[in-house]
């Protein structure tokens, strides 16, 4: 790696250590996530019984619930806003993020509310920013694995732009 690329990676490492401390601390706090539902979102809860009266709730007419196929190859336990941050903040250029970010987060919150999950807007924004900060690990890992700079450098650039735009440093307390 060239010397000019070292400073952003050192900054990423410092910021990510802070993000990991905040994430670990946040997951232990009662009431920190969306209305209890997310606190119960554990990998061991992937099978659960249903009551007879809710057999058809939330499904298209004529759908009795059926089977759900889950891609377990890349699963993880975390906050839903982290997936949004990965898709939007890490992969989107600033102009694209400005265009879709707010609307996507509002849509996500509205869909959760429709299904009884109340995710307060400040909590959603904080979790989204925390996810964007943690996503800086992705290009750092690619670099460490020897992936060509042409692949990881754009992710790092977009990730730092999102980090600054979203005020991730204040979310991390740094």
Residue 29: alpha-carbon gap to chain centroid: 18
Angle of the 149-165 helix axis to the 121-134 helix axis, nearest 10: 150
Q: Give me 13's structure tokens.
A: 């490492």
Q: Give me 14's structure tokens.
A: 């410092």
**pLDDT at position 2, please?**
46
**pLDDT at position 122, please?**
94
Supply the pTM of this predicted model.
0.61
- Per-residue pLDDT for the chain (174 aa), expressed as one digit of tens each? 444 556 666 666 666 666 656 555 554 443 444 444 444 555 454 555 444 554 444 444 545 556 556 666 666 777 889 989 999 999 999 999 999 999 999 999 999 999 898 889 999 999 999 999 999 999 999 999 999 999 999 999 999 999 999 999 999 999
3-state SS assignment for residue 36: coil
Spell out the long-range contacts of 4-7 with Cβ–Cβ below 8 A and sequence spacing 24 or more.
5/143, 5/149, 5/153
Closest Cα to residue 143, out of 20, 1, 17?
1
What is the C-alpha to C-alpha distance for residues 86 and 88, in angstroms, rounded to an integer? 6
**pLDDT at position 56, please?**
47
């Amino acid at each position: 790696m060239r010397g000019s690329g070292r400073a952003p990676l050192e900054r990423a490492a410092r910021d990510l250590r802070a993000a990991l401390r905040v994430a670990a601390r946040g997951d232990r706090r009662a009431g920190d996530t969306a209305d209890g539902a997310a606190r119960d979102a554990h990998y061991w809860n992937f099978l659960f019984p249903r009551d007879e009266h809710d057999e058809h709730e939330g499904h298209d007419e004529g759908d009795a619930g059926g089977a759900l196929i889950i891609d377990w190859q890349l699963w993880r336990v975390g906050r839903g806003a982290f997936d949004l941050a990965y898709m939007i903040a890490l992969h989107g250029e600033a102009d694209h993020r400005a265009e879709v970010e707010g609307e996507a987060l509002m849509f996500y919150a509205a869909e959760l509310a429709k299904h009884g999950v109340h995710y307060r807007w400040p909590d959603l924004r904080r979790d989204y920013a925390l996810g964007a900060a943690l996503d800086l690990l992705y290009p750092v890992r690619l670099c460490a694995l020897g992936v060509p700079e042409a692949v990881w450098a754009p992710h790092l650039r977009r990730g730092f732009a999102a980090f600054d735009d979203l005020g991730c440093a204040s979310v991390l307390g740094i």
